[in-house]
Amino acid sequence: MSDLIVVAYDDETSAFALRAELVKLQKEYLLEMEDVVVVTRSMDDKVQLHQVANLTALGAVSGGFWGTFIGLLFLNPLLGAALGAGAGALSGALTDTGIDDAFMCKLGNTLKPGTSAIFVLLRKFTADKVIDRLAALGHNGHVLQTSLPKDIETSLRATLEPATT
């Protein structure tokens, strides 16, 4: 079962810094992410989702490859590539994996202009090591939502959120 973590920041860049650190941690096999998306709300009130992978483009590339291959079998690789790329792009556009886009947009609309949030769906992670590494990023986030166990959530809040007086 995956765990959802949503952290908001008072600027548009800190969420991207956290995403970069999470990607490094994944390369070190300290966590496994199913999905990670940064949501920004610009000063002109536009909410934008920054996905890691563009499924439409990936579908078009994959479909183009397979269309060309099948087209070679029927002696018409250009037609096969065009049909395959179109079908792959359509398939990628209709495929939504990970965190629900509507949920992220809804929560993004509650952010103040000029701020950001990061949505992370974790399959598994080594909590103590990951939280220790995140401490180096500083205490400037606000944990909005999490499905973590209470003790890990408390530790994460203490690491990411500024101390209240």
CATH topology assigned to domain 3-52+97-160: hypothetical protein tt1634 (3.40.1520)
Strand partners, 153: none
Q: Give domain limits for the chain.
A: 3-52+97-160, 55-94
pTM score, two decimals? Answer: 0.73
Give the side-chain half-sphere CA count within 13 A for 108.
24
Q: Which of 73-77, 113-117, 143-147 has the lowest mean pLDDT?
A: 73-77
Give the single-character DSSP code of 161. Answer: S
Strand partners, 48: 40
Starting from the edge strand earliest in sequence, which strands make up the sheet with 3-9, in order? 47-51, 31-41, 115-125, 3-9, 141-146
Q: What is the pLDDT of residues 11-45, one digit of tens each?
A: 989 999 999 999 999 999 999 988 899 999 999 98
